[in-house]
Amino acid sequence: MNDVETGEHVGTHMDAPAHFCRGKWHVNDIPPERLIGPAVMVDIRYKASLDTPDVNVTLEDLQNWEMQYGRIPDGAVVFMCSGWYEHYDNETIYKGNDVGDLSDYHFPGFDPEGAQWLFEERKAIGVGSDSPSTDYGASQTFPSHLIICGHDAFGLENVKNTCLLPPNGAMAYVFPIKSDGGSGGPTRVMAVWGDEHPTTSTPAPEGSNEDLTTTARGNDNQDKATCGASSIPEEFPCVLIGLMMTAQINLRWY
């Protein structure tokens, strides 16, 4: 037997509504049906760069997405594809500095106007950021956090492989640690898609991502992601999009 000790808001994790909004859902309060929904990938790599890190998924980005792919479905999980997850191993780039100076963070996020529209007009259940936060790095007031939690929605942060998702047609499955009264926690995120049954899955392409569920960051012996079981038809791709980075988990054996 052992005890498990980990931070709530480290590695790939969920911000439950209670993280920023008093009286809203904790992790254990979120209904299971609010953890599964159509996955929408919004690509902002055209404007997110080392020279311009403080950019957002804006209302214009979301409306342009709809012009190309159709209406964002109700109950969606909307993922930002900025490519920022590729910088995770370099904290100076990933966060903007390596000394924990919150006033000097620089990375992409979600614009509050766009977030408000997503939850009020498209009834999204959550958003996923491939950077350290759902608010962009330079934010000091965290307006998108407040909008997200105000609608009893969740925010996923430090999400890997968002840019491997198709823009639409996938289903997202969000599996946070169900801690009683938790404001968040390490989270496993999976997206699957296919022509007829997007809820089934198969292994991701070799080398496309890593499954770090049971290993701490920096382990060179991580297993490649498999996503599904051998009985699942091969024509349905699957990507583990939430496991670029895991929390440091401490085990105490008895």
Backbone conformation region of residue 98, classed left if phi is above 0, alpha if psi is from -120 to 50, else beta: alpha
- pLDDT value of residue 87: 93
> Each residue of 114-167: pLDDT tens digit?
999 999 999 999 999 999 999 988 888 888 999 999 999 999 999 989 998 999
- pLDDT value of residue 163: 92
- pLDDT value of residue 242: 55
| Residue 33 scores a pLDDT above 70 | yes
CATH architecture observed for domain 2-253: 3-Layer(bba) Sandwich (3.50)
Report, as an integer, the average pLDDT of 82-105.
Answer: 87
Q: What is the 3-state secondary structure (H, E, C) of 114-179?
A: HHHHHHHHCCCCEEECCCCCCCCCCCCCCHHHHHHHHCCCEEEECCCCHHHCCCCCEEEEEEECCC
Domain ranges of the chain: 2-253
Our CA angle for 241, 131, 190, nearest 5°, is 15
| Under 8 Å between Cβ of 17 and 25 | yes
- pLDDT value of residue 240: 60
| Residue 192 scores a pLDDT above 80 | yes
Average pLDDT, the chain: 79
- pLDDT value of residue 227: 52
